[in-house]
């Protein structure tokens, strides 16, 4: 199967270009179709690629390339893929590159509607709702120009977080064996699904180790450890794998995503700002005081912290995914002090790239001016800012 294919290190090393080479996304798209339709001849194509998505900036340029290639090749071969099949194949195609991400970016690229925000569910796939983006707001994307190369130099760091989700979820299923039938995916770890009070769920989260050592994988997971190591194929394995804070980030972020679309429906912009702040606090590494003093942000989740905050709602726990950088944290903190800004947070997978900001249109120019000036004064680097509008998703234009 495809999972076995991409874990065949000897074969992959023969087929794959060096880490970070964008041609790998085209190869992954074609090879995924070959693997899926093994009894058919899948013809290749001569491709000319042009785009305006900043590369390695956390804005899904790699996913856009994968979707474009796979959709084009499937069209030329008359494969007639459904939207959900196309999305899942594109997500799996990127495993060839060496990253183990999900399908959210691909879903957004395929399903996008002009001036709409979509709420999409996986397992089983469903577009739950679409809400108009409020026309009196602007969505700004601020590019730090710090490369977020998750298929190259940052691949190990990116995959460490995905591994933490996988291992943390395994611990939860061991801790709650009676609930195993209701635990298929990480999103299932919620008070509603498990029919548990939040304080009980937090107590079970306390039993998940804050971290484990990479060399202890076999102690915890036995023979399965070798499969895990093969799957992620780290160039430089991490010494520690932080579990609890990353697991809590993922669980609470699922709750925030549900609340966000409801807040947008009801034009509760204060709630939208709160959700964006909580989400970014789960990503942030640094915090900037009003006088621009920088200090490290503590995102550890101790037993004491969970006990003392057991009366909170789950969405209010930021967790600690920790994939931001000081440049993005700076942009977020400075933006939130400008009038008219509703919310700000990291955009994309992190480790570089961009922040995104929602601001009232009549304050956009002031925000852009202030951010560019402050960013240059602090980092001696120019900040690129794009004003983004939701558009329709990936389409085929037949010029023949």
> Radius of gyration over alpha carbons of the chain, in Å?
21
Question: For residue 9, what pLDDT is reported?
Answer: 83
Q: Which domains does the chain have, with CATH numbers?
A: 2-111 (3.30.230.10), 155-388 (3.30.70.890)
Q: How far is CA 75 from CA 67, 182, 314, in A?
A: 12, 38, 43
Question: For residue 348, what pLDDT is reported?
Answer: 86
Angle, vertex CA 151, rays to CA 330 and CA 372, nearest 5: 25
Other Cβ atoms less than 10 A from the Cβ of 281: the count is 21
Question: For residue 207, what pLDDT is reported?
Answer: 96
Q: How far is CA 126 from CA 92, 113, 122, 252, 400, in A?
A: 18, 15, 6, 21, 34
Question: For residue 135, what pLDDT is reported?
Answer: 92
- Which 3 state secondary structure label does DSSP give 389? coil
Other Cβ atoms less than 10 A from the Cβ of 123: the count is 9
pLDDT tens, residue by residue, 333-390: 999 999 999 999 999 888 899 999 999 999 999 999 999 999 999 999 999 999 999 9
Question: For residue 290, what pLDDT is reported?
Answer: 78
Q: Residues in the chain with pLDDT < 70?
A: 151
Q: How far is CA 372 from CA 26, 189, 368, 379, in A?
A: 36, 41, 6, 10
pLDDT tens, residue by residue, 272-317: 999 999 999 999 999 998 788 899 999 999 999 998 998 899 999 9
Q: How far is CA 161 from CA 74, 164, 165, 255, 269, in A?
A: 32, 5, 6, 19, 30
Confirm if 330 and 378 have CB atoms less than 8 A apart: yes
Question: For residue 17, what pLDDT is reported?
Answer: 83
Confirm if 323 and 245 have CB atoms less than 8 A apart: no
């Amino acid at each position: 199967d495809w999972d076995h294919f991409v874990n065949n290190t000897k074969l992959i090393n023969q087929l794959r270009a060096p880490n970070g080479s964008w041609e790998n996304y085209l190869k992954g798209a074609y090879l995924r179709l070959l693997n899926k339709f093994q009894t058919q001849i899948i013809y290749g194509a001569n491709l000319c690629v042009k785009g305006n998505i900043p590369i390695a900036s956390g804005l899904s340029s790699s996913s856009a390339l994968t979707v474009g290639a796979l959709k084009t090749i499937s069209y030329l071969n008359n494969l007639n893929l459904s939207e959900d099949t196309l999305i899942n194949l594109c997500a799996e195609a990127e495993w060839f590159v060496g990253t183990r991400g999900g399908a959210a970016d691909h879903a957004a690229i395929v399903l996008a509607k002009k001036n709409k925000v979509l709420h999409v569910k996986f397992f089983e796939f469903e577009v739950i709702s679409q809400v108009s983006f409020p026309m009196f707001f602007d969505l700004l994307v601020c590019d730090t120009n710090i490369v977020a190369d998750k298929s190259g130099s940052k691949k190990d760091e990116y995959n460490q977080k995905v591994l933490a989700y996988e291992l943390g979820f395994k611990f939860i299923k061991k801790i709650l064996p009676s609930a195993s039938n209701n635990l298929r995916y990480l999103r299932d770890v919620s008070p509603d699904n498990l029919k548990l009070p939040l304080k009980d769920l937090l107590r079970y989260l306390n039993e998940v180790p804050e971290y484990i050592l990479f060399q202890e994988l076999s102690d915890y997971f036995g023979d399965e450890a070798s499969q895990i190591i093969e799957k992620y194929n780290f160039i430089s394995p991490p010494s520690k794998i932080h579990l609890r804070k990353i697991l809590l980030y993922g669980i609470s972020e699922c709750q925030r995503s549900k609340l966000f679309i409801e807040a947008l429906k009801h034009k509760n912009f204060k709630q939208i700002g709160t959700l964006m702040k909580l989400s970014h606090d789960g990503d942030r590494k640094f915090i900037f005081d009003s006088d621009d003093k920088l200090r490290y942000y503590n995102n550890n989740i101790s037993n004491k912290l969970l006990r003392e905050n057991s009366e909170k709602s789950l969405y209010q726990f930021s967790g600690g995914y920790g994939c931001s950088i000081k440049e993005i944290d700076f942009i977020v903190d400075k933006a939130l002090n400008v009038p008219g800004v509703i919310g700000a947070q990291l955009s994309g997978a992190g480790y570089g790239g961009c922040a995104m900001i929602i601001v009232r249109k009549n304050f956009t120019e002031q925000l852009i001016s202030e951010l560019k000036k402050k960013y240059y004064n602090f980092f001696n680097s120019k900040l690129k800012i794009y004003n983004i509008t939701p558009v329709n998703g990936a389409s085929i234009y037949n010029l023949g």
